[in-house]
Every structure is written in C-alpha cells, then in structure tokens.
Amino acid sequence: MDNPAREEAAQRKRIEKTAKRQLIVIWSIFLVCFTGVAVHIYMLQTAEAEEHLRARSERQSAGSMTLGAGGESELDGHRGYIYDRNGFELAISVETPSVFVHPRKIVDKGKAAVELSKALEMDLGAVRQVLDKDVSFAWLVRKTTPEKGAAVKALNIHGVGTKRESKRYYPGQELAGQIIGFAGIDNVGLEGLEATYDKNLRGSVLKVHGTRDARNHMILMTDAPRLNDLEGSSLVLTLDQYIQKVAETALERVSKKFSAKSPVAVVLDPHTGEVLAMANWPRFNPNRYRDYDKDAMRNRAVLDAYEPGSMMKLITYASAVDRARVRPNDPVSQDHGKLKIGKHTISDTHAIPNMTAELVVSESSNIGAYHLAQKLGKEGFYNYLKSFGFGRKTGIGLHGESAGILWNYTKWAEVMFANIAFGHGISVSPIQLATAVGAIANGGKMMRPWLIREIRDVDGDIIEQGSPQEIAKVIEDKSAQTVMRAMERVVAEGTGMRAWVKGYRVGGKTGTAQKIDPKTRTYGHEYMANFVGIAPIDDPNVVVVVMVDAPRPQHSGGFVAAPVFAEIVSQILPYRGVYPKSVDDGIADPFDKEAYRAAARRAADAPPIVAPHRPESCPQTVTVPDFAGMTAYHALQFAKANCLGANILHAGYVTAQWPPSGSTVSAHTRVELTMANYYK
C-alpha cells in the first residue's frame, strides 16, 4: 500500500515541477518578446522623430540641428521671408553647404590642402592656415555653393565634412536694397529692415536632450518639437516692387544725366500713409554686402536730412492761409526784388509784377515767403512747422531715423526767421517732407508713414497688422484745397513746368537749396535740386518727393528734379488704376492747358500771369522734350523753359514735331511744331 502511495506522490511532484518549468519558460519567452517589442517601438519612435525633424527641415529649407558632443543639441528655426505688398519675394532663406574640418584627424594636410583649395577655388595658403590649427573643429568656408560642397564631399577626406546651413538670399538683387538691408553670416540682421525686425525674422533656437548610440546617432530623450514653433515670422511690406523699380530707374537716369551724387525718391499714399517706394541711388545689392562701404547701405530717405529750399514755401503758404486767413490774390510786397534785414540782403531771382500770395508759391519768391511768415509771427510759424512734423521723427519704425533740425523760435534772429520761411536754416528728411505734403493732399489730415503691412507666422496667419493712423489735423480742408491750387499753378506756368504729365492734372513745388560745405561750415558751390508733387491734384493718389544731391552743370529743382517726378508719375498712375483723361470721357480736354490755366486763375481770382522766364543759364546742348498734345500757348512756354524756340504751324494741339523728342540739339534751337484741331 505504501509503495503505490509514494509512487503517486512522486509522480504528482514531477508533474508540478514540469509545469513550473514550462510556466517559467513561457513567462521568459513573453518577457523577452515584450522587451523586444518595447525596445523596437522606442527605437522606431525616436528614429521617426529624428526623421520627422530631418524631413521637416529639408522640406522647409529650414535651419539646422547642431549636434553637441554630449547629450544636448540645438535646433534652429529658419529666418522668415520679406515680401512686397503683392507677395513678391524680397528676402528668402535657402540652404547651402558649409565646409568644416577636424584638423587633428587629417593625416596628410599638404595633400588635403591642395585638393580642397581646388575644389573650393580658395587660396592654398588660406586653406593650409586653417588645417594647421591645433583645434578639434574649424570652419573652412561658410555657406558656399552646392557645386563646391559636392566637390568637397567627393574628395572623401577623413576629417573634412559639410553641413547644411540657412543662407539669406535677395531675389530682387539691388531692388530696395537699402530698405531691406541684410543679414550676416550667422543670419543676424545687420542693416535695414533685417536689423530693425531681427527678433521677428530670426526665429528660435531649441535645445534638444538625448543620447547617442554606438554609431554616434542622436537618440531623442524627449518628444520631437514642432518646427513651426521655431520658425521666424515673415514681413509683408507696403512697398510695391513695380513702383520701387520705376523710382530707382528714374533716379539712375537723372544721376547719370547730371552726374549727381545720391538722389532719393519717396512715393507715398497720402490717404493711408503707406510708403509705396523709397528709392536710393546708387543701388545696393545685399547679396554682395561685403563689396560695399557703409555709405552705400544708407537709406537716405529716412536717415539723412537736407535743407528743403523753396519746397518749404508750400508749408509757409499753407500756414498763412490757415492761420492768418491769407487769400490767394492778396497782394504781397516784393520790395523791388531785394530786402535788407540787418547786415543781410534777401533777394529774388526775377521781378514779379503785382505779386500775390499764390504767386509767392508759383513764382517762388523768397521775399514773399518771408512776408507771409511774418503774418503768423515767429511763435505761430514755429507751431505750424512742428504740427507738420518737422523737428521730430515720423515714427516710420526704422532704426536711425533722422528728426531733422528745427531750432526753437526763441533762438531765431530775424534773418533766420526769413531763411526758414523759404527753406534754409531748417533741415528735413525726404520721408518727413512726403508726410507733410501728404497732409495737404489729404485735406489737412497727416498720416503716420509706415512700411510693415503684416507680420505673419510660418502658417501664414497674421500676428500683427499695420493700419492707417492719423497723427494730426494740421490745416483745414479748405486751406489744403487753396494750397493745391497754387501747386497746380506751379506746374502749369511757374517754376515746375517740367513736372507736367500728359493726361493728368498735377501740382507741386520746386526747391533749390545751396549745400553747406562740411569743411568751411558755410554755403559752398553744390546744390540740392528738389521737387515735391501731388498727382492727380484734383483727386490725390500719390505724393512724390525727389531730392537730387549735387547735380551739374544744371542744379535747379525745376530743371533737374521736376522731370523725375513726371517720369515716375506717368508710369505708376496707370498701374494704380488712375488713367489719363481724354476727350472720349466727356470732360474738358485735359490737353488744353490754356483753358486749364484760365480755370485755375478764375478759381483763385488771380491776376493775369506773367510768362515764365528762361532759366538763369542754359547748357550748350539740350534734350528735346515731347510737345505732343500741347496748345500753342503752352508749347511756346514749354520750349522757352527748356532753352528752345518754337515755330508753330497751323492751330489747335501739337500732333507732330521736328526734331523728335529725345533728340540732342544746341540750346535755342527752334523746334517745328505742327498743330491740328484734334489730339490722337
């Protein structure tokens, strides 16, 4: 009995032991499988995270991950783009290879230097100098071309590698170069909008924690970051690339024609304050910023201030009309062309019989401007100058903006009071002047000038949005209309006839300012030739300021700068949907300048106009202008203002001319003008 019982107990123990072993094996297999799956999932997640980062970076041409020696790495977001108002790319980021070396790992430095110098087209000595450094890492060249990067990789030199980096590129080349500025080798903005809005554009740098496997691959210990959170914001500007190009081309032409130093132009929407163009000459290409000196990078429209000359008479007249209730036909003494103030004498270039307040502007009388300012007194005139924005920054939002110079009226001697009235003893920037005249074009409401329409994130969502901002109501609407009538008269029959634009009513004011010699601190022999205008004058769409530095041999604003205004306006108004008027529109023929001048005189109740005087001096040769569409009366005046004579054949409007426009002829040549009673 005992033996069978013991046998049964032993059998039961053997079964239990076998079952335990089987259970242990099963659990072991399960644990091994579970661990393997978990490790695989972990590796897959981290690999996918890295691949996600890499793919996103490549797909967006974004920044790069800098892998540290330990468990910490840096991930850079790429720099935001800059666009014009219509989406034209002005600044973008592209990926380019940079070449680095580990000098201590390079075995044959002599051979490596020769091969690298050929591949990179670098000086052999410069390459060898880098390879001979006793350091573990050094850059050989940053942000080179893809072709050179590929050539280096093909060499397969131990201790030499390439790394993709984000590089700034400017598709417009020289277009708006001084406004855009540039970012340096490390993608930090150094000039222009690139510097002013560097924090918005640059993006973020994120430190990523992880470890490395046996092959030195990064294994992330944290979740993969969203690259969108690192990307820099993009700027959308108020600038229009077409209008900018028109303005820059016009400046190039006037600079070459008159050997001018650095002309500037600003095109402003007076109703919103949006800057449509801000042109400087010579141009600056931010892609090659190392090839230029600091002076070439200056945005003179904002950073520099100049004496405005007779353009200031617009502000003087506007102030007198608004405050002293001066009327256009009020008589103003010219003091026989000369006026003594203490030891100083103020003079006009020509006599103006029966001078009126409006003729002070259209015929540009210095003495008359002083008498108009006297009606306000020093304090009253000073307050108007301040309200028009002179002596303070406009707030356009660019680093280094000039406030200009406007001394407090308590420091004005009487002769300084007179000088300021006609544009000397005061300095203004082109953007200040455009803003002030913009107030006249906008019914007396002065708008803050601005350049940034929108700041957008990487998804295109608007983060910040600019909008028109009224600074002040500087004069009444009625006063502004009175000033614009005087401006129209300047172009119709005054000093600004070369600003006339066929098919449009335009107005403006010339200015010629003698420059101060920086060595003697007295007035020298160079001039600023200036013009500011509104177009169209009957329904303002743009304000244009043109300032030409040191033209020669001619230096008057009417001769040098006014045609630049006409060139710009004639191209940008149709582009902006403002078309020239014609007989088919059922309105008065805009080419009948005599009728148009008569209407202007009736509106202002002004006396008959004195024929415009010939320029003080004429060059030996002149360029024949386009007389098409002019009446005989206007053609004769236009010829005289251009140092030419005219023979009129028949009556009506000019339909043909000889020599043709653009021809170069001797001064005082008589142009034959054929007239007809229609204009095609």
What DSSP letter does each residue of 128-154 carry, written as one string? Answer: HHHHT-SSS-EEEESS--HHHHHHHHH
Coil/strand/helix, residue 27: helix
pLDDT attached to residue 50: 46
Q: How many CB atoms lie within 10 A of CB 530?
A: 33
CA distance 679 to 368: 39
The CATH architecture that domain 62-233 belongs to is Alpha-Beta Complex (3.90)
Max CA distance (Å), the chain: 156
Coil/strand/helix, residue 26: helix
Given a cut of 90, is residue 184 above it in pLDDT?
A: no
Residue 208: which pLDDT band, with cuts at 50, 70 and 90? low
CA distance 38 to 6: 47
Mean pLDDT, rounded, for 447-457: 96
pTM metric for this prediction: 0.72
Q: What is the pLDDT of residues 594-631, one digit of tens each?
A: 544 444 343 333 333 233 444 557 888 999 998 887 76
Q: What is the pLDDT of residues 398-417, one digit of tens each?
A: 999 999 999 999 999 999 99
Q: Return phi, psi of residue 608, to 5°.
A: -55, 150
Q: Which distant-in-sequence residues (6+ apart) come within 8 Å of 237 by Cβ?
A: 82, 83, 84, 85, 90, 193, 451, 452, 453
Beta bridge partners of residue 67, listed in sequence order: 73
CATH 3.30.10.20 describes domain 614-680:
yes
CA 194, 199, 201, 204 dihedral sign is positive
> Which of the following is catalytic: 57, 73, 233, 310?
310
Percent of the chain with pLDDT over 70: 77
pLDDT attached to residue 537: 96
Q: Across all residues in the chain, what is the average pLDDT? A: 82
Coil/strand/helix, residue 59: helix
**Domain 241-285+303-613, CATH homologous superfamily name and number:** DD-peptidase/beta-lactamase superfamily (3.40.710.10)
523 compared with 196, residue with greater pLDDT: 196
pLDDT attached to residue 138: 86
- Angstrom CA distances, 392 to 383, 395, 515, stand at 13, 9, 22
pLDDT attached to residue 2: 56
310 as an active site residue: the answer is yes
pLDDT attached to residue 638: 84
Mean pLDDT, rounded, for 642-671: 83
- Angstrom CA distances, 390 to 61, 65, 177, 289, 450, stand at 45, 49, 27, 33, 17
Taking Cα atoms as reference points, which of 364, 379, 341 lies closest to residue 422? 364
What's the 3-state SS for 346-406? Answer: EECCCCCCCCEHHHHHHCCCHHHHHHHHHCCHHHHHHHHHHHCCCCCCCCCCCCCCCCCEC
Given a cut of 60, is residue 222 above it in pLDDT?
A: no
Name which of 52-56, 267-271, 362-366, 467-471 the model is least confident about: 52-56
Taking Cα atoms as reference points, which of 270, 263, 572 lies closest to residue 450? 270
Residue 19: which pLDDT band, with cuts at 50, 70 and 90? low
Given a cut of 60, is residue 52 above it in pLDDT?
A: no
